[in-house]
Amino acid sequence: MTDSRGATESPATTAGGSVASHCPYCALQCAQTLTPTPAGSLPLEVTGRDFPTNRGGMCQKGWTSAEVLRASDRITEPMIRTADGGFRTAGWDEALDLVSSRLADIQQRYGKDKVAIFGGGGLTNEKAYLLGKFARVVLQTPFIDYNGRFCMSSAAAASNRAFGMDRGLGFPLADLGGADAVFVLGSNMGVTMPPFVQHLAGCRARGGLIVMDPRETVTAKLARDGAGIHLAPVPGSDMVVVLALTHIIFAEGLADLYYLESRAQGWEAIRRSVAQWWPERAEAVCGIPADELRRVARLLAAAAPVHGGSGAYVLTGRGVEQMSQGTACVTAAINLALTLGLVGVAGSGFGPVTGQGNGQGGREHGQKADQLPGYRMITDPAAREYVARIWGVPADHLPGAGIPAVPMLKALGTQEGARALLVHGSNVVVSAPNSGEVIDALGRLDFLVVSDLVPSETAMLADVILPVTQWAEEDGTMTNLEGRVIRRRKAVEAPGQVRSELWILRELAARLGYTTGFSDDAEEVFTELALASKGGTADYSGITYPMLDGEGVQWPCPATDVGAATSGATPLGTPRVFLDRFNTPDGRARMMVVDHHAPDDDVREGAPTYLVTGRVLQHYQSGAQTRRVEELSAAQPEPFVEVHPLFAERMGLVAGEFATLATARGHAIARVRVSADIRPDTVFMPFHWAGPGSANLLTNDVTDPISGMPEFKVTAVAVAPVATLAPIPEGATA
Amino acid sequence: MRVVLIGHGMVGSRFADDLVSRRPDARVTVLAKEDVAPYNRVLLSSVVAGKSDASMLSLPLESHPRIDVRQGVRAVSVNRGDCTVTDSTGEVHHYDRLVFATGSAARIPNIHGIATDLGLVPGVSVLKDLADAEQIVAQIPRARRAVVLGAGVLGLEVATGLASRGLSVTLVHHHGRLMERQLGDAASNVAEGSLGRLGVSVVTDSSVDRVTERRGVLSAVELSNGTEILADMLIMCAGTITESALARNVGLPCDRGILVGDDLASPADPKVFAIGDCAQPSEGGTGLVAQGWDQAARLVNAWSVSPGSQSHAASQGSGAKGADEMDTDLTNVVRVKAPGLDVVTMGLSGKFDHGERELRAVRMSDPSIGRFVEVVVSHGILVGATVVGDKVAAAELSAMYTRMIPVPSDPAHLIIRPLAGAVATVVTSVEDMDDDHPVCQCNSVSKGAIVAAVHDGCTTTDEVARATRASTGCGDCRSLVGDIIGSCAAPDLDTVSSDSRPADQSAATKVPALAGRTKG
């Protein structure tokens, strides 16, 4: 390896003060070298670093990530709301005293469960862990959940019940390169995590990239010119495609029956259930020709090891997961992969493509309403006993399971809900579904505390804003989309009075009577986290910070692995999971029967069009960070709605002018973009913006009965042109 | 609630499963005439065609404590006064509600010589159940010539299926048009042409008068026009008759099938219902499983406790469309599953009356390649379509029809759009690109920015990457960046292009090199 910037394999720091870290944004966690530039206009310079995931590549977000450190409106001191509705700055002691006294008061008067915590999938493992511990030990509230509920909950629920474990991709990303086929369901990694696309080069060269999306996205276009197949089903009908593919595989005798017999249970019930989805029936529901479905099924089957192929992967994204049948849809995808004998086999596999930076680690260590560190269930007496012992409290000190994000937010300020909320690493006002109601719910609170970098839309509603460190200002670990635990390293000092959430939690805990057990040193917290995870599904107990200097470690990595680690040659952890058995009592994958239902809010008279939501390359999540980066904001300055030319023509929409969108939840306004990449019955809006162009004013907050995932991805909408305010001159062309 | 269900086919079995999951107090006794688990009749023709494994026919069979399936047991009589059903074992079942889901049987036309006292002459068959399919499949290896009687959906599927297995097939139809209820003359002619290309000879306006046997086995058939055709197999796909004898016997009003109202109840007895092929609702029975499944979902919904209070999602049931909202007219999408012959019709198709509604019918006929598309639009909604030989249009139109999606203002786009959609973005040459043409999507780098970098002295893709970040994301634009460098350099005839080319070639198939670093 050579690198003119001087980054090396094991680069904690170098002589030039550079550190090896990873991008602040998505779950690909592109490796970066951060070089402080004390004299520069920005605090540091960012360059790509060779790593198994990004191979040195970065997208525009990564290249410009240093900008966020210097956002002009960065919050650098605690802020307290004033009587006139504004904010004033405050010292830490005042702010923390206020927070702790208000929380204590509310809990004393109304009960422990009247304080809730909302976390984020971008927080480091250490922060996520400590947040969960703070909720259970200090606040003793069951109400903690996080924005990963909007992201990975369906995939996690489906993986857990099928395999007994959810590690995101159960294999190194680079394994994709050798496969003959990769089936991407509802993910647009070409836009959301561009360097990922390198790993698709192999299957594209062999004509095996299959992308399912109602739009011909950047990712779908990668399948052009013989590189693969793009399937554009009617929104909400993706699952029908998957069921029909499974039908065809059984019907044409392409299933891997030996694998199904030896490694799975329940396949006969699956075969019976998909008997109802013959391709011609599926065609009328999903709009994809029956023969096209056959072509895809045969392509996938030919790539499967049982038919002599080099391997096939089935990858799911938010497109199929953010549905009220999201868990079922991922389950259908898992059943498809199992039917072809792909899971737990080197060179093939199934996996969801995690979205948020630490979407994986964030769901493993106690931020979820029903979980304790190590992906343990809080309802499991043994797990409670073990974790409580680590935490130095009796097991009955720990509260029970809380409720998922959407109902938790809905209940705020009501009889059943919390009266105070702490928000960390999330901008729920923009990112939650039916966001108009979320704003109302936050307004009902007695007390809202938001820890944030910038005055995000959620922070602006707070009673107290606590300024926190981010990315290059802090140490910690993240767990990427392939379950790889990696190091985030501090390169520069945070500005002003900014503090880490670890420090904030320590200070609050002390004020609320817990003077020990809350370290603000990331490595100390990680050591405790590792111990707390020991014996759990997501077992980090064999991992230490020094072990993460190279390419990180893919969990599970029980403490017993440590001996092997010293040689340096032995790979640590578990790059590929399930090779011998699944994490179920009998070692077999469980195949669960699932069936399709139409979207909750399906097209109808008055709302005859589908609205789908998603992302653009330049923005991340609610845009709180990326909207503050000039270069990104210049490239994608405002909300827009993408429509097909035929739709535009019928509705009288004009490119560059505004359209109004109305659903059963609310209204939004966005500028019209006309593109033939979308189905004529569907319009698309990205969700990165607040205000009247916020897509989540429109989205449906009905949730999946198993995962609690809201139905972000599909709702019925009415679209109309907005009358131009300026008078149109006589004779002007439309 | 005690329910007796007579019939355990595709519609009956789904009804029972859905009912017990929605009504905790429902107990269902199923009298299932056939001595096999419920299976998918729709796929019988696919089994005959060799496209589907017979194991694929098995439908979900969840044993449920509140469903009591009596396999191989028929209903013999119904006493509507006592609300009881007596079965073929003599057992008497009391019901609060009785549901007929008895389906239909193949109609056997009056053909001289097709049957003896032992049943149909060997070689002569219908295709209505699993045993029929197995019998036909068993005959195929020894058969060379087949006659299929009836060019409805099933007849077309069987004819093409047998032809795809190498048999010489003659399709005999009583009408001048194939699928005369669904297809007009032009569409029928196009389909007939396609059948010819698939090796199926079509004889219209004719029927089979008699069959000849040799040594107890079918040897030839004689058509009503006097032609004799040698044949080892005769498969009669001449429609169905509803299984409504029992209902008739107990005084329930029947016409073609058991008459039911919009509530699927018999007008003569509010405790007796009929769903699926045996039922005849006011809009008429289509013989399509979609209609039967829709009826099953509607009946379950109607019987479930305060359906208005159910969550919307739950009320969707397992159907493809919310049963509450489903317009029964929308279940009439007819799809022929014939290898090599794509025929789909929905709503108004074939010969229909243009006079009554404001209808706009637009058609494209392209017989030389076997393609015909007609769309019928009323008030901005697709109310009918006929598609022959255009898979994409068939799929998109049926998805649109069942959802009542508004159509483009010019309905002609419904026909030409799928073809126009195939037009790829024209790949302009580098010279033709505007300066603001995006080259690197991952880093928002335009052609102009790259040209500027070249003018500033960059001569290789790596140097351009360092200067602009182009190609440092997914790496897909790397060769394009090289082309732009080349095009900038060309007029000067210096060494720029030769410097940049080797890097391009190695990179085109590999990962992008990094900004600020070179491989190797």
Say what the ipTM of the complex is: 0.82
Mutate to test the interface with B, among A280, A406, A706 (most CBs of B within 10 A): A280
Distance from CA of A251 to the nearest CA of B (A): 5
Q: Do B60 and A702 touch (CB under 8 A)?
A: no
Mutate to test the interface with A, among B164, B382, B472 (most CBs of A within 10 A): B472
Q: What is the mean pLDDT of residues B215-242?
A: 94
d(CA B27, CA A650): 51
Partner residue opposite B511 with nearest CB, options A59, A198, A281? A198
What is the pLDDT at residue B106?
A: 93
Q: Do A287 and B421 touch (CB under 8 A)?
A: no
- Judge whether residue A622 has pLDDT over 90: no
- Single-letter code of the amino acid located at A393: V
Q: Do A603 and B325 touch (CB under 8 A)?
A: no
Q: Taking CB atoms and an 8 Å cutoff, what residues of chain A touch B318?
A: 595-597
What chain A holds in terms of domains, given with CATH numbers, is: 79-150+358-402+445-565 (3.40.50.740), 153-352 (3.40.228.10), 609-721 (2.40.40.20)
- Judge whether residue A315 has pLDDT over 60: yes
Q: Residue B355 — pLDDT band, cuts 50, 70, 90?
A: low
Q: Taking CB atoms and an 8 Å cutoff, what residues of chain B touch A681?
A: 400, 403, 405
Q: Do B469 and A63 touch (CB under 8 A)?
A: yes
Q: Do B405 and A608 touch (CB under 8 A)?
A: yes
Q: Do A60 and B405 touch (CB under 8 A)?
A: no
Mutate to test the interface with A, among B390, B410, B443, B477 (most CBs of A within 10 A): B443
φ, ψ (nearest 5 deg) of residue A646: -65, -40
d(CA A222, CA A295): 18
From B13, which residue of chain A is nearest by alpha-carbon distance?
Answer: A276
User: Cβ atoms within 10 A of the Cβ of A349, count?
Assistant: 25
CA distances from B281 to B66, B101, B107, B247 (A): 29, 13, 21, 15
Size of interface A-B (CB pairs under 8 A): 223
* Tokens linked to A374: 């190590």
What is the pLDDT at residue B499?
A: 44
Q: Residue A541 — pLDDT band, cuts 50, 70, 90?
A: very high
Q: What is the mean pLDDT of residues B491-512?
A: 42
- Strand B119-120 with B217-223, pairing: unpaired
What is the pLDDT at residue B184?
A: 94
DSSP bridge pairs for B364: B373
pLDDT digits (tens, 9 = 90+) for A194-236: 999 999 999 999 999 999 999 999 999 999 999 999 999 999 9
Q: Which residues contact A415 (CB under 8 A, 6 or more apart)?
A: none
Q: What is the mean pLDDT of residues A548-565?
A: 79
Q: Do A59 and B473 touch (CB under 8 A)?
A: yes
Residue with tokens 């429509």: A643
From B412, which residue of chain A is nearest by alpha-carbon distance?
Answer: A646
A423-427, B170-174, B286-290: the lowest-pLDDT one? B286-290
* Tokens linked to B234: 């005769």
Q: Taking CB atoms and an 8 Å cutoff, what residues of chain B touch A249?
A: none
Q: Do A276 and B40 touch (CB under 8 A)?
A: yes
What is the pLDDT at residue B362?
A: 92
From A254, which residue of chain B is nearest by alpha-carbon distance?
Answer: B53
Q: Taking CB atoms and an 8 Å cutoff, what residues of chain A touch B472?
A: 48, 56-58, 63
* Tokens linked to A665: 């939840």
Q: Taking CB atoms and an 8 Å cutoff, what residues of chain A touch B406?
A: 608-609, 650
Helix (H/G/I), strand (E/B), else coil: A568: coil
Q: What is the mean pLDDT of residues B92-112?
A: 95
In terms of pLDDT, which residue wins out, B6 or B339? B6
From A607, which residue of chain B is nearest by alpha-carbon distance?
Answer: B405
In terms of pLDDT, which residue wins out, B382 or A4? B382
Q: Taking CB atoms and an 8 Å cutoff, what residues of chain A touch B321?
A: 598, 602
Distance from CA of A92 to the nearest CA of B (A): 39
d(CA A709, CA A701): 9
Q: What is the mean pLDDT of residues B333-346?
A: 91
- Judge whether residue B421 has pLDDT over 70: no
Q: Taking CB atoms and an 8 Å cutoff, what residues of chain B touch A598?
A: 316, 319-322
Q: Do A271 and B61 touch (CB under 8 A)?
A: no
Partner residue opposite B392 with nearest CB, options A3, A191, A289? A289
Rg (CA), chain B: 31
Q: Do B60 and A681 touch (CB under 8 A)?
A: no
What chain B holds in terms of domains, given with CATH numbers, is: 2-104+241-305 (3.50.50.60), 115-238 (3.50.50.60), 330-420 (3.30.390.30), 430-508 (1.10.10.1100)
CA distances from B512 to A340, B78, B497 (A): 33, 77, 18
Give percent helix, percent strand, percent coil of chain A, each to the nearest 5: 35, 20, 45
Q: Which residues contact B331 (CB under 8 A, 6 or more apart)?
A: B286, B288, B290, B291, B294
Distance from CA of A314 to the nearest CA of B (A): 20
Q: Taking CB atoms and an 8 Å cutoff, what residues of chain A touch B130?
A: none
From B425, which residue of chain A is nearest by alpha-carbon distance?
Answer: A676
- Judge whether residue B317 has pLDDT over 80: no
From A4, which residue of chain B is nearest by alpha-carbon distance?
Answer: B517
- Judge whether residue A53 has pLDDT over 70: yes
What is the pLDDT at residue A323?
A: 93
Please provide the DSSP assignment of A278-340 as one string: -HHHHHHHH---HHHHHHHHHHHHHHSGGGT-S-EEEEE-HHHHSSTTHHHHHHHHHHHHHHT
Partner residue opposite B409 with nearest CB, options A271, A324, A649? A649
What is the pLDDT at residue A506?
A: 98
> A264, A266, A257: which is closest to A301 by C-alpha?
A257
What is the pLDDT at residue B57?
A: 80
- Judge whether residue B312 has pLDDT over 80: no
Q: Taking CB atoms and an 8 Å cutoff, what residues of chain B touch A219?
A: none
Q: Do A603 and B52 touch (CB under 8 A)?
A: no
Q: Do A287 and B400 touch (CB under 8 A)?
A: yes
**Class of residue A238 by CB neighbours under 10 A (exposed 0-12, middle 13-18, buried 19+):** buried
From B394, which residue of chain A is nearest by alpha-carbon distance?
Answer: A289
Partner residue opposite B474 with nearest CB, options A57, A252, A280? A57
**Sign, Cα dihedral of A132, A133, A134, A139:** positive
Q: Residue A485 — pLDDT band, cuts 50, 70, 90?
A: very high
Give percent helix, percent strand, percent coil of chain B, each to the nearest 5: 35, 25, 40
**Class of residue A485 by CB neighbours under 10 A (exposed 0-12, middle 13-18, buried 19+):** buried
Partner residue opposite A251 with nearest CB, options B53, B320, B443? B53
Q: Do B511 and A201 touch (CB under 8 A)?
A: yes
Distance from CA of A668 to the nearest CA of B (A): 22
In terms of pLDDT, which residue wins out, B517 or B169? B169
> Is residue A537 within 8 Å of residue A163, measured between CB atoms?
no
Helix (H/G/I), strand (E/B), else coil: A350: strand
Partner residue opposite B406 with nearest CB, options A201, A608, A631? A608
* Tokens linked to A577: 């999971």
Mutate to test the interface with A, among B154, B403, B446 (most CBs of A within 10 A): B403
d(CA A269, CA B59): 9
CA distances from A114 to A450, B371, B484 (A): 17, 67, 62
pLDDT digits (tens, 9 = 90+) for B134-179: 999 999 999 999 999 999 999 999 999 999 999 999 999 999 999 9
Q: Do A56 and B510 touch (CB under 8 A)?
A: no
Q: Do A646 and B441 touch (CB under 8 A)?
A: no
Q: What is the mean pLDDT of residues A25-34?
A: 96
Q: Do B312 and A190 touch (CB under 8 A)?
A: no
Distance from CA of A447 to the nearest CA of B (A): 32
Q: Residue B502 — pLDDT band, cuts 50, 70, 90?
A: very low
- Judge whether residue A728 has pLDDT over 70: no
- Judge whether residue A112 has pLDDT over 90: yes
- Single-letter code of the amino acid located at A153: S
Work out the angle at residue B81's Cα, subtended by the Cα atoms of residues B80 and B82, and round it to the nearest 5 degrees.
Answer: 95
